[in-house]
Structure formats: structure tokens, C-alpha cells
Structure 1
Amino acid sequence: MDYGLQFKNTSDVVTIDSEFSRLMVIASGRYAPTEEGGMGSTTYFARAVTSQEPPLVFVRPGNSALIAGLSSVRMIGTAGNWTGFYVRTYSSATAQPNGRYFVGAFAAQAVAQYGMRLWDGTGKMLFDSGTPNATFTRAFQNWTYVKSDQTDQGLYRNYYSVPFSFPQNEFMLINNFGMTMVSGGTIPRQLYCTWDFSTGTLYAVTVAANNPYAFFLPAVFAKMNA
């Protein structure tokens, strides 16, 4: 950078820069079952996220003694006023939606009563000392195809797995698991995922009338910084 502010930590890593925004944690808390007989969960943020693009929501299932599932992810709100998210467990055989979450955006919001704020040249707030940041920790898409079967409706269901560990301070991005995927026909592939803590395995499941075997969706993890 030619001018402005730049701050480095003791490892010589740039942590604040007046030209580039970081992933800032706008709100965090817990999500829990709220509807659909305990299978669905709607969570509202403590403060709305004011970014134009949908914020990034990261979750960590709370009951590691059970198989946790996730499907039907949906952001609540509109551009500039994102207020919450909805998620549903995968099936009645998986645990109810319950755990911790944080929501982040690549822009800060005015939260601190005192401290420091930093804007870029266009007036976009990049840093607020009352808004913690998050760090991406890892991502992978080296899924292994496990098996296929059919649903009661005759749709084809593919299972993919990857071994994983889930440290207590790590959360998984769920926005991309709310998307449908291209299939071999006119009906898109529906996407789900489950965590089996007993075996240390993350599963992805796709369902469609014409369901290809190829699967490359990345699973992305991050942690909040104090």
C-alpha cells in the first residue's frame, strides 16, 4: 500500500489494512429447534447485517454424541438488512438443529462505544474495535463416493464422505450447503450434509432424479478471533 494504515501481528501477518476488509463477526450465539416438530430452526441475529450481499453463516452442532444433520439453509432478510437464517435437520434420524453459530461479513459495523474505526477510500467501514474478526482455517473438497440408494419417491441419492476433526473453536460455513446443484436432468440436485462425531466423518448427500457421481463442493471452516 502507498499510504494509509497497516497493522501486523507478532508473526508479521497483516491483521488490519486500510485498503482491504477482513471477515468481521457481526453477531454470534446459539441456534435451536423452533418449528416443524423440532426439525426446523429459525435464528434471528442480535443486530442486522448491513452488507448488500448475504452474510456468511458458520455453525457448530452442539451434541457430539449424535449424528447432526443440516439442510434447507436459507438467509432471512434483504440486501442491507439481513436479520437471520433458517436451517433444518437432515431427517428424523439425525439430531435436532442445535449448536453455536456466528455470522460474518467482509465489512465492519459501528458497534464500539469507544476505540478505533477504519474506513477505506470509498467510505466503507473496514474495522471497528467492537467487532471481532474471523479467520478461515481450512477447506477441502476431496470427497470420497460411498454409495447410492433410492428415496421412497424413487429419486437417486448419493453419499460422499471425508474424514475430519472438529476442534471446539471451529465452525463450518453453511451458505453453500443451501444451494442446489446441477444434475443430469431438468431437476437440480438437492444437497444435505451430516456430521458423525463417533466416527469422525463428514458426509454430503445429493438427491435428484438424474444424479451424477461427480461432487466437488468445498467444505469451508473458520474460527472467531477474540
Structure 2
Amino acid sequence: MAGYGLQFTNNSNAVTIDSEFARLMVIASGRYAPTEEGGMGSTTYFARPVTSQEPPLVFVRPDNSTLIAGLSNMRLIGSAGNWTGFYVRTYSSATAQPNGRYFVGAFAAQAVAQYGMRLWDGTGKMLFDSGTPNATFTRSFQSWTYLKSDQDDQGLYRNYYSVPFSFPQNEFMLINNFGMTMVSGGNIPRQLYCTWDFSAGNLYAVTVAANNPFNFFLPAVFAKQAA
């Protein structure tokens, strides 16, 4: 920060409030659950709309399950200044239904608390509201191990990648980037899915495309809400 203003650090010496820069603020949190498509699809509406112009970041933690948990086709609901929810779908009928916890964050606070403290920057942008706690990025990785390829019933190539991981109860994974399609080198974009195998301690990424590119460097990003 500059020579004047406010800065607050926690007992780990991490900056949690700053009068110049917005932190990732938790606007809403809760659970997602099956709502449609025979239990395979899930539409969740936030407790309050996210009013940022840029799309907010959605982090999820699937419930531990003996089945493999899978999520795909993530999309935000709403538009700039009024993001109201998100949609996800389980990977296939063989994976667990979409059940778990989520939080949605933005790099700006919103006027939520009736009592407490608010902080704005020099342009009038709200940086902090005591009703919107911050979140902290915990880790990321993109060193996936290629496992195998096969073809689905339509003849499309599926590539499988994995990375070993532990998934603490207070840690959530960003799913915005897993809702995107990827360049495939052909006319049909490369579809992307992620699955969690809790019993084996592995996170998997699956890509589906008409041709068969092997390179895969998409980062998996994790965060947790401030205590």
C-alpha cells in the first residue's frame, strides 16, 4: 500500500484488508444439489446477486462419496452487475450426483452487513464490508500425468489426466476454468471435465475431442474461506 491508508494483517502476517487493493471477498456460500436432468444437473442461485462487472469466481467442494464425483458444463447465470447463480452437471450417469458446498467470490466487497466496517478506495469502489469475509488462495498445480486415451460411442477421443491430491474439508476448487472449452486443433473444441476419486486420492481431468491432442496444462486452483 501507499504511505497513507489502512492495512490489516492476520496472525500469519497475511494482508486481509488494504485500503488500495481488493481481496477476494466471499459474497455468498452454501450448498449445491441435484435439481434437474434426472439428478445429473444442478442449478444453484446465490443468496444475493454478485454485483461485479466481471464474472465472479465459483469454488466447490463435492461431498465425499464412495462414487467418483464429477463436474462439467459449468456456467454462470446472470450478466455483468447481476450474477445470480451457476449451473453444473455431473460427468456421467456412473458418477455421483452433484452434491457439495460452494462459495462465490469477487475482487470487490458488497454492502451486506448492517453493522461493522466498510472501506472504499480513492475511486469510490468498495473494498471491504465486514459482512463479506475474504478468501485465500491456498495452492494451484498444472503438472498433470497423462494416463490413457479411448473413444466414446460417437468415436470422439477421450484423454485422461490425473494428479494426486488431498482435499481438506475447508478447501474448495475453482470451477470457472473447467467450464471452458479448449483448443483442439480441429473444428470441434475440446470439451473438459473434472472428477474426484476420494478413495484413491486422485483428481482427474478428462478431455473429449474429435482429434487427439495430448498436451494439457490447465491449472487447478484452490482456495479457502477465512476463518
Q: TM bucket by the smaller chain?
A: over 0.9
For residues 25 and 65 of structure 2, the distance between their equivalents in structure 1, rounded to whole angstroms, comes to 27
Aligned twin of 2:125: 124
> How many pairs were matched up?
226
> Partner letter of residue 9 of structure 2?
K
For residues 9 and 203 of structure 1, the distance between their equivalents in structure 2, rounded to whole angstroms, comes to 34
Aligned twin of 2:217: 216
Q: Secondary structure at the match of 1:77?
A: strand
Q: Is the 8 A contact 1:189 1:211 kept in 2?
A: no
Q: Is the 8 A contact 2:24 2:108 kept in 1?
A: yes
Q: Is the 8 A contact 2:27 2:109 kept in 1?
A: yes
Deviation per CA, 1:62-98: give whole Å up to 9, x if none.
Answer: 1332210010000000000000000000000000000
**Which 4+ stretches in 1 moved above 6 angstroms?**
none
Note the 1:1-226 alignment, pairs <5 A. 1-226=2-227
Displacement, 1:210? 1.3
Displacement, 1:157? 0.6
Displacement, 1:11? 3.2
Q: Secondary structure at the match of 1:180?
A: coil
Q: Is the 8 A contact 2:65 2:96 kept in 1?
A: no
For residues 172 and 11 of structure 2, the distance between their equivalents in structure 1, rounded to whole angstroms, comes to 25
Displacement, 1:187? 1.0
Q: Secondary structure at the match of 1:177?
A: helix
For residues 60 and 10 of structure 1, the distance between their equivalents in structure 2, rounded to whole angstroms, comes to 26
TM-score, structure 1 normalization: 0.98
> Partner letter of residue 139 of structure 2?
R
Displacement, 1:10? 2.9
> Partner letter of residue 87 of structure 1?
V
Q: Is the 8 A contact 2:172 2:223 kept in 1?
A: yes
TM-score, structure 2 normalization: 0.98
For residues 71 and 19 of structure 1, the distance between their equivalents in structure 2, rounded to whole angstroms, comes to 36
Q: Is the 8 A contact 1:63 1:98 kept in 2?
A: no
RMSD: 0.8
Q: Secondary structure at the match of 1:206?
A: strand
Q: Secondary structure at the match of 1:122?
A: coil
